């Protein structure tokens, strides 16, 4: 049975909570969940499929744990690996940078050979710009625990239903 590695970084607990909901929706038999601050680069390469989660901070910056880990990504080859992304941000207060950290990680994983799945529609969000939008869709699941927390559970359920068959 294939295992999915779910890697996330969280400052306030919102990304950690979303990661838990995603792991639950996929099923604990299929996924191992890690805070990125607690792993080595080799841990990521031990999985055929990855789910990568991050929040965006400040003016479109990586979450601290991902910022500290980012240099390790240069050493890794993600060729043959399928990767799905989820991101959290505040679309109303930081609409000029909404989910930029997810876009930054996406670019690095693509550069290192990953095949990406799990795009998400931009409809239903209020933001002005995002590095996480490609060809009219978010490159992964877009969540906003500050303004649309009531939609998180249903969005995760719909997203997981689409990515689970691809990742497994």
Round to whole Å and give the CA distance between 99 and 129.
9
pLDDT > 90? residue 104: yes
Mean pLDDT of 56-75: 95
Angle at 167 (CA atoms; ends 84, 55), nearest 5 degrees:
20
Which pTM value belongs to this model?
Answer: 0.96
Q: Which CATH superfamily is domain 4-167 in?
A: Flavodoxin domain (3.40.50.360)
Predicted pLDDT at 2: 81
Query: What is the helix (H) or strand (E) element at residue 109, kind and residue range?
Result: helix 100-111
β-pair partners for 32 = 5
Residues in the chain: 168
Domains of the chain by residue range: 4-167
When the pLDDT of each residue in the chain is averaged and rounded to a whole number, the result is 96
> What confidence tens digit (pLDDT) does each residue in 1-26 have?
688 999 999 999 999 999 999 999 99
Q: How many helices (H) and strands (E) does the chain have?
A: 5, 10
Measured from the Cβ of residue 164, the count of other Cβ atoms closer than 10 Å reads 19
């Amino acid at each position: 049975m294939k295992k999915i590695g779910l890697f996330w970084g969280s400052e306030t607990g919102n990304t950690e909570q979303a990661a838990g909901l995603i792991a639950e929706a996929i099923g604990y038999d299929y996924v191992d969940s890690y805070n990125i601050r607690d792993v080595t680069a080799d841990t990521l390469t031990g999985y055929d499929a990855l789910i990568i989660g991050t929040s965006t901070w400040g003016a479109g910056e990586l979450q601290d744990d991902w910022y500290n880990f980012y240099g390790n990504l240069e050493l890794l080859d993600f060729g043959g690996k399928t990767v799905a992304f989820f991101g959290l941000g505040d679309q109303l207060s930081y609409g000029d940078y909404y989910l930029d950290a997810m876009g930054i990680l996406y670019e690095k994983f693509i550069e290192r050979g990953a095949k990406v799945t799990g795009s998400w529609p931009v409809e239903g969000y209020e933001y002005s710009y995002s590095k996480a939008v490609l060809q009219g869709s978010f490159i992964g699941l877009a969540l906003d625990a500050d303004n649309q927390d009531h939609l998180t559970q249903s969005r995760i359920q719909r997203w997981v239903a689409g990515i689970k068959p691809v990742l497994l």
